[in-house]
Amino acid sequence: MRTTVDEYQLPIAVADSPKELAKIVGTSENVVLSSISKKRVGWYRVEVPDEEIKKEKAAEQVHPVL
């Protein structure tokens, strides 16, 4: 995830992979990985547990987003 570097740290971009995030924000995958590993402000790795993803998919099947 890429966020603003101010006190609010609002999301700028969220992606499923470093490669996808790099494409969205216009940089390389190496920059994304390096920034996250060095814990630079505005770069974050967010993990979503598999069970939470399964619950979201199940909910979408019951109530599809139009």
pTM, rounded to two decimals: 0.71
Q: Is residue 57 very low, low, confident or very high in pLDDT (cuts 50, 70, 90)?
A: confident
Q: Is residue 63 very low, low, confident or very high in pLDDT (cuts 50, 70, 90)?
A: low
Q: What is the pLDDT of residue 56?
A: 78
Q: What is the pLDDT of residue 28?
A: 97
Mean pLDDT on 36-62: 84
Identify the CA nearest to 10 among candidates 40, 33, 44, 35. 44
Q: What is the pLDDT of residue 48?
A: 78
Cα-Cα-Cα-Cα dihedral sign, residues 34, 35, 36, 38: positive
Contact in structure between 5 and 41 (CB atoms under 8 Å)? yes
